[in-house]
Amino acid sequence: MANNSDGSAVYEVKVGEDDYIDGLDVTESDGSITTYLFRPANYDEVEAARKRAESAALLASSAAGTAKTQAYDANVAAGAARTAAAKCSTATENANAAVQKANAANDTASASTALASNAAAAANGAASHAEAAANQALQIANSVAQGAGGESDIAELRRQNGQLATMLADATGKFIYMDGTVYCPASKASVSGDTVSFGGTCSVSGSTVTLA
């Protein structure tokens, strides 16, 4: 919970037990209190659904990793089988007396190579399916996070969060980063057309911009 004042009004930020901002109480100069809420009524359900979807995405990613490992092992086996086939062919050329046995061994090794190659192809297919499942799970997670509470509710929540971040930036004189957006205090940044100008406390070094 935080309190602040600019001389004309006092605001109090409500922070829940999970460290999320629940709302903002503003005490006006006339003593009246205005409450602004920043979470929809079904926020807990939306958050729980998002966490379940993220868990499913992690499981799918783990399955993809296992499938890739199996594909690699199958490829190694295929390489070993091809090496064995080459050795059998060399033995056939150098040992005419054992040509029939060497040819039989070569045929067996070739069959092993084909089987190993088929296994590698199957494992690669499994890896692709697992990756697709992981991507689908991530899409579900994003969908739940963005739409489970209703698009209008989520849009309103984001709008109110942006409103709060702007108020805090102006009240504290500090830059606030939230949900991929940097909120600048009016005393340290200004916009003119396509140009954003920062105050003297900010600096640029190469490709790095320091906001202070």
**Which tens digit of pLDDT belongs to each residue from 87-135?**
877 877 887 777 788 788 888 888 888 888 876 775 565 455 444 444 4
Provide the mean pLDDT of the chain.
Answer: 76
| Residue 10 pLDDT | 60
SS3 76: helix
Helices (H) and strands (E) in the chain, counts: 3, 10
Share of the chain above pLDDT 90, in %: 1
Strand ranges, E, within the chain: 2-5, 10-15, 21-27, 33-37, 176-178, 181-183, 189-192, 195-198, 203-205, 208-210
Q: Which residues in 12-33 are b (16+ Cβ under 10 Å) and which e?
A: bbbeeeeeebebbeeeeeeeee
Which has more pLDDT, 185 or 133?
A: 185
The helix or strand, by DSSP H or E, that contains position 188, with its residue range, turns out to be: none
For the stretch 23-73, pLDDT in tens is 677 787 788 887 766 666 677 787 788 889 989 989 888 888 998 898 898
Kind of pairing between the strands at 181-183 and 176-178: antiparallel
